[in-house]
Amino acid sequence: MSFYRRIKYFLVHTLMLSNKEAQKLIDLGNICIDGIAIYENCFLSDASEIKLNNEIVRPRKEFVYLLFNKPVGFESTLNKNIDKNLSSFFEDFEGLSIAGRLDKASEGLLLLSNDGKWVENLCNPKFEKEKEYIVTLNKEVTNEFIEHFKTGVSIDKIITKKCVCEKINKNNIKVVLKEGKNRQIRKMCKVLGYEVLTLKRTRIADFLLTDLQPGSYLVTKI
């Protein structure tokens, strides 16, 4: 459950009441959160309905969580001013944000939600959420490549963190990262003398792509 702020903050900064007015309303029990009168300056959920003197001043917000298989050729944005954006896939939803972007040439799992705190929890590097990829390279993978990739590669003057890199077959590897620098896998491979032919993300944290088809989304629970 994510939280907005304390109810008094909402009354003062959103409804533009004075501190004194806000406190009086709380003391009198004139504020209801999700149908329950409150008498103290408590926290409220981002989704909570708020009533003032029995009138709704903020309706309850229904959060939605989507798994989406981004096709190759699309930008990881909902901005309609950007060519090949993803907005046409989500016309039935409002207020979505994307957790876990992919470059235009890559495909695979994206997570979207109108729950900003949840998206932030997945995107913020400090939480170190795992992201798993299947990568096809332009030539045979060597043990030397695997060892260098796993221990860290210098890109953009920064050494990447240790990660998982396993050989699947002659030209394919599985990579698991806990960081997400821009085009990181492609840049790491380039430094090591390889070119990425295809890159597909199959997992973010505990969320799996499974058999979701490109361009399709699935409403999920958290």
Positions marked active-site: 103
Q: Could you tell me the two tokens for 170?
A: 């002659």
Run of H or E residues at 69: strand 65-70
Distance CA 102, CA 166 (A): 21
Distance CA 87, CA 96 (A): 10
Q: Is 157 helix (H, G, I), strand (E, B) or coil?
A: coil
How are beta strands 107-113 and 196-204 bridged, if at all?
Answer: parallel
List helix spans (H) across the chain.
Answer: 7-13, 19-27, 116-123, 143-151, 184-191
Question: φ, ψ for residue 65 (rounded to 5)?
Answer: -130, 125
Beta carbons within 8 Å of 211's beta carbon, 6+ residues apart: none
Q: Residues 84, 94: contact at Cβ < 8 Å?
A: no
